[in-house]
Structure 1
Amino acid sequence: MYKIKVGISACLLGAPVRFDGGHKRSSFCEQQLGEHFDFHPVCPEMAIGLGAPRPAIRLVKRAGEVRAEASNGSFDVTERLIAFSQQQVRELGFLSGYILCAKSPSCGMERVKVYGGTQGAVKEGVGLYARALMDAHPLLPVEEEGRLNDPLLRENFVLRVFAYHDWQQLCHGGLTAARLLEFHSRYKYLVLCHAPEAYRSLGRLLGRLKGRPLEQVADEYIARLMPALTRCASRRGHTNVLQHLQGYFKRFLSPGQRQELADTIDKYRLGLLPLLVPLTLIRHYLREHPNPYLEQQVYLNPHPESLKLRYSL
């Protein structure tokens, strides 16, 4: 089975690479996501020659510069970490996502402790490897393993990985105006759910497709799409899309069926039902009344059902 390639901090897969010789194995990453993702593990600190166990590394601000030093002051690995990170991230264009270890001075995505100020440690840093990764690949879906415990953030990250991979496949297969328009057609309702203003903006962008270099339009398209999908969809956004989908079935359903669907969507809006309930009903009516345009909508199946990511939304 083909799997999407995703980078990951090696400790999250159980590799004993942490400063204390331990790991931070994530069963969700290893077992559930591992069924669909082909992980590319990296430990920057081990890669630059540090052993395990070793003195812990921490970020220290000195003369306005953030450096990576041993907690006991015995060594400084700033230049080595930066050099490795910059070289490594240049080789990661094949990835469709990345999962980082939280709080790490090399891999932490945000709120990493920085020492050296008058107020002691402040949670304002970014790991040196993580910063290089995000600077080099600003559209790449990146998340920390701890934040994946939040159902909304978990679903959003996986959704973005599949969407970014879909885009990479489009570009790899040969970009044409027709394929770009078809891609946008499939993602319309997903974008509408997450960011209505981006939905309108992307429509206007593709409306001016003629007369502009295709590659330029495509670069602008994905540069708007991925940030739009980074926003977690709200209950209001889902309700809006569900009501749009409902409209396609009005002339096919009996009065009782129309009322049932409307009531189900409204109960979801009020928080009385999970998203899966109205989605299941819409999928049922779609099987009974096929519609090629709706069947292609990524919104209805943004990721494998086996991950059960929409059960608690």
Structure 2
Amino acid sequence: MKRFNAPHIPSSEITPESIYVRRRQFMKAAGLLGGAAATSLAFDASAAVKTGGKPLQFTPASPGANGFHTSEDQTPFSDASQYCNFYEFGTGKSDPADYAHEMRTEPWTIEIAGEVARPGKLNLEDVLAKFPLEERIYRLRCVEAWSMVIPWLGFPLAALLQHVEPTSKAKYVAFETLHRPKEMRGTRSFGSTIDWPYREGLRLDEAMNPLTLMAVGMYGKTLPNQNGAPIRLVVPWKYGFKSIKSVVRIRLTEEQPPTSWQAQNPREYGFYSNVNPEVDHPRWSQKHERRLPSSIFSPNRIPTAKFNGYGEQVAQLYQGMDLAKYY
């Protein structure tokens, strides 16, 4: 079983303490506040899409705690921000970086409904003020067999769910992405097979696992639009399968919710969709992955670890399940 230790991070990559700001100052500078504050202090989204936004204040997780860190080399920011899946902006890996600046990310609210005692709409600024941000360095394997190591900034999804108080009937958590065709050119594409808006789902115990993160930043700064700004889901043992971006709705349900890829192609994408080298995708093997940066002449090909190496933290969630059947 892979052990997770504190990574060695070059001093050049550590954000100086002098540029940290109080959370509310950060939100104003990053354009996350609504009303007059956002109007007067919002930053240029088209610039942030390349830079990763403004510096973000956070508290690093304890080294090795619950698998929140890995000692593997981090993927360069240029790769993580330029090689993306975000079909709302196109199917090419560079399309999100090219076109996601057209999406407005402020003001931003998240609607929480369904089997909860405290449903309603939450302003993102209120969410960030309530839940302290942590840095987590996750090893992530995408569905097409490429992988990265990314330092995410966010808060546990469990904290948000506990805040809204799930009822005894809550068994699943459904997520929905922003849908604005005028700003998301991929949703206007002729012949699109996805029924927008994009939807994803987790079982409640998966959602409540300490590893499951609602991310608002990466590499010490706010999320670039193409990486799911201003808030997205990160599930490290399901990365690429359960990585819904720009979340606007969360609904707790008693029944298993429909998900976009399962509806589009149930033969290839099941509801659980764990990273599992023992279960091949119908169109490619999951036994190996291509760690970015990688090229034709220097293919960084490595064996895939079951659950992305997070089995110690999550294998018990699937005890007794046939993971070839429930893929």
Larger RCO: 1 or 2 (CA < 8 Å, sep 6+)? 2
Query: Structure 1 length as normaliser, TM-score?
Result: 0.23
Task: Select the structure that is richer in helix.
Answer: 1
TM-score, structure 2 normalization: 0.22
Which is greater in Rg? 1
Q: Which has the higher strand share?
A: 2
